[in-house]
Structure 1
Amino acid sequence: MSSETLQTFLQTNLQDLKEHGLYNEIDPLESANGQMITINGKTLVNLSSNNYLGLATDERLKQVAKEAIEHYGVGAGAVRTINGTLDIHLKLEQTIAKFKGTEAAISYQSGFNCNMAAISAVMDKNDAILSDELNHASIIDGCRLSRATVIRFNHSDMEDLRAKAKAAKESGKYNKLMVITDGVFSMDGDIAKLPEIIEIAEEFDLMVYVDDAHGSGVLGKGAGTVKHFGLQDKVDFQIGTLSKAIGVVGGYVAGRRDLIDWLKVRSRPFLFSTAVTPADAVAATKAIELLMESTELNDRLWENGDYLKKGLKSLGFNIGDSETPITPCIVGDEKLTQTFSKRLFEEGVYAKSIVFPTVPKGTGRVRNMPTAAHTKEMLDQALTVYEKIGKELGII
Structure 2
Amino acid sequence: MGSSANQDNVASLATDFYSLLESFKETPFYHLLFEIFLVLTVLWLILFRKPRRIEKKLTEKEKQELIDEWQPEPLVPPVDANHPALNVRVLDGIVGKTIEIDGKKSLNFATFNFLNFVGNPRIADKAIQAVQKYGVGSCGPRGFYGTIDIHLELEERLAHFFNCEEGIIYSYGFSTVASIIPAYSKRNDILFVDEGVHYAIQKGVEASRSTVKWFRHNDISDLERLLAEQDIHDKKNPKKARTLRRFLIIEGLYMNYGDLCPLPRMVELKYQYKYRIFMDESVSFGTIGQTGRGVTEYYNIDRRKIDLISSSLEYSVGSIGGFAVGSSFVVDHQRLSAQGYCFSASLPPLLAAAAIEALNIMEEKDTTLCDTLMEKSKRLHRKLLDIKGYLIVGEDISPLKHLRLTNSQNTVARLEEIVEFAQTRGITITVARYLNDEHHLPEPSIRLILNVEMTDEELEFLCTVLQEARVKVTV
Is TM more than 0.5 here?
Answer: yes
Q: Give the Cα–Cα distance (whole angstroms) in 2 for the partners of residues 34 and 229 of structure 1.
A: 31
Identify if the C-alpha distance between structure 1 residues 25 and 105 changes in structure 2 by more than 3 Å, giving closer, same or farther.
farther
Q: Specify the SS of the correspondent of 1:318.
A: strand
**Which of 401, 415, 430 is the matching residue for 1:327?**
401
Q: Once structures 1 and 2 are overlaid, which stretch shifts more, 164-173 or 128-137?
A: 164-173
2:167 maps to a residue whose letter is A
RMSD, aligned CA: 2.2
Structure 1 equivalent of residue 299 of structure 2: 229
User: How much does 1:157 deviate?
Assistant: 1.0
User: How much does 1:357 deviate?
Assistant: 4.5
TM-score, length of structure 1 as denominator length: 0.92
Q: Specify the SS of the correspondent of 2:445.
A: strand
Equivalent residues of 2:249, 2:277 under 8 A apart: yes
Identify if the C-alpha distance between structure 1 residues 205 and 54 changes in structure 2 by more than 3 Å, giving closer, same or farther.
same
User: How much does 1:96 deviate?
Assistant: 0.6
Following superposition of structure 1 onto structure 2, how do residues 244-255 of structure 1 map, counting pairs within 5 Å? 244-255=315-326
User: How much does 1:376 deviate?
Assistant: 2.5
1:346 maps to a residue whose letter is T
2:135 maps to a residue whose letter is G
Q: Specify the SS of the correspondent of 1:106.
A: strand
Structure 1 equivalent of residue 197 of structure 2: 135
Following superposition of structure 1 onto structure 2, how do residues 211-290 of structure 1 map, counting pairs within 5 Å? 211-221=280-290, 222-231=292-301, 232-290=303-361
Following superposition of structure 1 onto structure 2, how do residues 67-86 of structure 1 map, counting pairs within 5 Å? 67-86=129-148
Unaligned 5+ segments in structure 2 are 1-69, 235-239
Q: Give the Cα–Cα distance (whole angstroms) in 2 for the partners of residues 160 and 204 of structure 1.
A: 14
Structure 2 equivalent of residue 318 of structure 1: 391
Structure 1 equivalent of residue 105 of structure 2: 43
Q: Does 1:159 align with 2:159?
A: no
Q: Specify the SS of the correspondent of 1:56.
A: coil
User: How much does 1:389 deviate?
Assistant: 1.2
1:286 maps to a residue whose letter is E
1:10 maps to a residue whose letter is P
Equivalent residues of 2:288, 2:374 under 8 A apart: no
**Which of 334, 341, 344 is the matching residue for 2:419?**
341
Q: Give the Cα–Cα distance (whole angstroms) in 1 for the partners of residues 306 and 247 of structure 2.
A: 11
CA deviation map 1:42-84 (0-9, x unaligned):
1111101101000111111111111111001101121100111
Q: Does 1:374 align with 2:454?
A: yes
Equivalent residues of 2:403, 2:446 under 8 A apart: yes
User: How much does 1:23 deviate?
Assistant: 6.9
Q: Specify the SS of the correspondent of 1:258.
A: helix
Q: Which runs of 4+ in 1 moved over 3 A?
A: 21-26, 355-362
Identify if the C-alpha distance between structure 1 residues 202 and 279 changes in structure 2 by more than 3 Å, giving closer, same or farther.
same
CA deviation map 1:296-324 (0-9, x unaligned):
22122223322222222112232124241
Equivalent residues of 1:100, 1:227 under 8 A apart: no
Equivalent residues of 1:237, 1:255 under 8 A apart: yes
1:224 maps to a residue whose letter is G
Q: Does 1:308 align with 2:376?
A: no
User: How much does 1:266 deviate?
Assistant: 1.1
CA deviation map 1:70-107 (0-9, x unaligned):
00110112110011111100010011111112110100
Q: Give the Cα–Cα distance (whole angstroms) in 2 for the partners of residues 182 and 312 of structure 1.
A: 25
Q: Percent identity?
A: 24
Q: Give the Cα–Cα distance (whole angstroms) in 1 for the partners of residues 214 and 89 of structure 2.
A: 34
Following superposition of structure 1 onto structure 2, how do residues 86-165 of structure 1 map, counting pairs within 5 Å? 86-165=148-227
TM-score, length of structure 2 as denominator length: 0.77
Unaligned 5+ segments in structure 1 are none
Identify if the C-alpha distance between structure 1 residues 328 and 362 changes in structure 2 by more than 3 Å, giving closer, same or farther.
closer
